[in-house]
A and B are shown apart, each in its own frame.
Chain A
């Protein structure tokens, strides 16, 4: 079932196009990573989805309703650095958020306590937010975004400002949460996306470079490659250069005793290269035959 359908969404500031005509569909229950370098337009996209920024063009249809329908009731949103009232206690804040989402007082107290328990802040609930650590604030941010059981959860760089411990805590939570509701979260770290999500939308300079299921993308973008490295300062460097001219090698990148070769046939290339290495007594340090990774794809998209 389609939960969110975005068509031709754009946002421009003057002449600058921050988000440029992007379209995508998100199914209910999916966990989608909005991936891209800083300045790719991820935050702007999320803020348009959250109704905080009016789009310059394009449409957002939520749960099959007409574009323009207010769906904020079904939305949970966590901005990059959530500014919650420092003078409130954690519990007070979540209750406040729950009531504003339309939950009656008595129930709000109950679901808020549960939400705090959920993010591991039950004991800290009575303390003032001003005294919370970065990780605690982010978890409280998740609690306020989840307390009304939204159909769609939008998280803007939920872990990038955290130290490794805080990051781990929040990632664990996200792993649990993605089973309960539809999640879109933005990140500039491919590893975070791979860890939690099955789907990615890779953005660069306001447009979508690639989107789809991670496993499919991996297949689609896997190119047979051979990586090898040799001891530097030996005659082996010249051998690497000579390999690059072989007919079974389509493209090569060589630097400082390391080489990456794109090949047509991995098995054939592997045999030929290893035979030569043995014959010439080349001091090999590392040899790997396989496919290019998403990391390469990410770097290629970001670099171009």
Chain B
């Protein structure tokens, strides 16, 4: 346990020194507040841009607060996930290729502890980023659109974070045996693949982690959702990623 803390603090110190602990949350906050702002000022922006056919704005109806909040969280599914995967891709792959993992592996530590500490550090960054981003998005939405249920927002953010964490965990798994960029690419591809399956056949694949973004939106607009299947499958996927990465790290050892 003490060694876990040692490794975890080292990961967090690296996050801080590489500014990852700062720039990722800032990006999430910007993404979060941009959505309510652009939605609210869209008519003005369009008007300002000039040549617009008259009458186009007549049908424009300001979406409700819940819908805007859901869209704001939806921003994290694209740029947010990309940022998290790219930021996580080198944490294990880089250590393996540079040789600093070699110096870790001669210490009396189980590979699982090394992996788990890395995963926990990424989880921390994700929570801070998503927490601040969702809070900022909520604040702006309330200011511009109207009131939101705090508990629904929390639940929605929680569901969304589980989806993002799945992608980060996949990145960690792939980077245990691939180069960083390839690992991030494959992880994003897997996430996109799951999303595609879910969007093509929603009733067959509504248990996939890829259903989580929809659930998160549903939580805001409808207030309650059947979350059990996707949450369970996401947790299992994440656990499998950690276990798989630990095994690979222990067995595959290091490049020769």
Q: Which residues of A contact B (CB under 8 A)?
A: 13, 50-54, 70, 72-73, 75, 77, 79, 81-85, 87-88, 92, 96-97, 99-102, 104, 144
Which residues of chain A come closer than 8 Å to B18, judged between CB atoms? Answer: 87
- A85-B100, A99-B3 given as contacts; is B106 within 8 A of A52 (CB)? yes
B109 contacts A100, CB within 8 Å? yes
Whole-angstrom distance from the CB of A108 to the nearest CB of chain B? 9
Q: Do most interface residues of chain B lie in helix, strand or loop, or is the interface mixed?
A: helix
B106 contacts A96, CB within 8 Å? no
- A13-B256, A96-B6, A99-B6 given as contacts; is B99 within 8 A of A51 (CB)? no
A83 contacts B107, CB within 8 Å? no
Closest to B97 in A: A83
A73 contacts B108, CB within 8 Å? yes
> Other CB < 8 Å A-B pairs besides A96-B10, A100-B7, A101-B108, 6 of them?
A51-B106, A52-B102, A72-B106, A83-B100, A100-B108, A102-B3
B99 contacts A83, CB within 8 Å? yes
Q: Return the contact of A82 from the options B7, B10, B99, B256 (Cβ within 8 A).
A: B99
A52 contacts B99, CB within 8 Å? no
Q: Return the contact of B99 from the options A79, A99, A100, A101 (Cβ within 8 A).
A: A79
B98 interfacial contact with A, CB 8 Å: yes
Q: Which residues of B contact A (CB under 8 A)?
A: 2-3, 6-7, 10, 13-14, 17-18, 98-100, 102-109, 253-254, 256
Q: Return the contact of A97 from the options B2, B13, B102, B107 (Cβ within 8 A).
A: B107
A50 contacts B106, CB within 8 Å? yes
A53 contacts B253, CB within 8 Å? yes
Distance of A101 Cα from B2 Cα, bound (Å):
11
Which residue among B6, B14, B17, B254 has the maximum number of chain A CB atoms within 10 Å of its CB?
A: B6
B253 contacts A83, CB within 8 Å? no
Closest to A95 in B: B6
Distance of A287 Cα from B100 Cα, bound (Å):
53
Closest to B107 in A: A100
- A52-B102, A81-B99, A85-B100 given as contacts; is B108 within 8 A of A70 (CB)? yes
Which residues of chain B come closer than 8 Å to A52, judged between CB atoms? Answer: 102, 105-106, 253-254
Which residue among A54, A77, A104 has the maximum number of chain B CB atoms within 10 Å of its CB?
A: A77
Q: Which 8 A-B pairs have the closest CB atoms?
A: A83-B99, A100-B107, A99-B6, A83-B100, A77-B106, A72-B108, A83-B98, A73-B108
B103 contacts A102, CB within 8 Å? no
Which residues of chain A come closer than 8 Å to B98, judged between CB atoms? Answer: 83
Distance of A32 Cα from B254 Cα, bound (Å):
26
Which residues of chain A come closer than 8 Å to B104, judged between CB atoms? Answer: 100
Whole-angstrom distance from the CB of A148 to the nearest CB of chain B? 9
Q: Write 8 A-B pairs (CB below 8 A) sorted by A numbering.
A: A13-B256, A52-B105, A79-B103, A82-B103, A84-B100, A87-B17, A87-B18, A88-B13
- A53-B253, A81-B99, A83-B99 given as contacts; is B2 within 8 A of A99 (CB)? yes
